[in-house]
């Protein structure tokens, strides 16, 4: 199995939108109402918003390929692109998603390693993320990677307020 990770270009906004909607829906549809899920997807993954995120100099998106197939993606943010102001020595992992057909193959680890690599390249002191308090598999994954829970913030799925745990990990020099 050949795994490659490539930076997403603005010309790839449509495949990014498709993968974003599919992976988010696969991950969260069972735990949320159809109305709230639809409302979130309509806002979070509209083409203009994704294009603006791709154009932001402090955000980076990467596709993970298995052979020639897009299997997942990563979004990281630094500086003013972070969803919470965590300072200039922080890198945020905003999204790590693996397409359902490719889950449980260790591919999330590949994207996680890419995020750590970028944090080191950018001389960041720590990496952080928000994860829904009900996403127990993801919380366990991040705890195994050395993240600790440091705070929380609200996340809106349509009109429902949910809580994301803020988890943080120091970057080794």
Residue numbers annotated as active site: 142
**Cα(80)–Cα(86) distance, rounded to whole angstroms?**
9
17: tokens are 């939108």
Residue found under tokens 């050395």: 146
* Beta-strand runs (E) in 12-80: 59-66, 69-78
Exposed (0-12), middle (13-18) or buried (19+): which is 138, by Cβ within 10 Å?
A: middle
Residue found under tokens 């260790």: 106
CB 60 within 8 A of CB 76: yes
The 10 Å Cβ neighbour count of residue 33 is 13
């Amino acid at each position: 199995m050949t795994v490659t990770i490539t930076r997403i270009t603005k010309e790839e906004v449509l495949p990014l939108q498709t993968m974003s909607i599919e992976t988010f829906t696969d991950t969260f549809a069972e735990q949320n109402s159809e109305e709230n899920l639809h409302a979130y997807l309509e806002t979070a993954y509209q083409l203009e918003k994704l294009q603006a995120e791709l154009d932001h100099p402090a955000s980076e998106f990467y596709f993970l390929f298995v052979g020639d197939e897009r299997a997942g993606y990563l979004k990281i943010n630094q500086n003013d692109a972070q969803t919470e102001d965590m300072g200039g020595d922080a890198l945020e992992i905003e999204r790590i998603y693996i397409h359902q057909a490719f889950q449980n193959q260790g591919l999330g680890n590949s994207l996680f390693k890419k995020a750590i690599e970028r944090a080191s390249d950018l001389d960041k002191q720590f990496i952080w993320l928000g994860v829904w308090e009900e996403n127990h598999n993801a919380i366990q994954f991040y705890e195994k990677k050395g993240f600790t829970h440091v705070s929380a913030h609200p996340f809106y799925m349509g009109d429902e307020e949910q809580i994301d745990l803020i988890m943080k990990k120091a970057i080794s020099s």
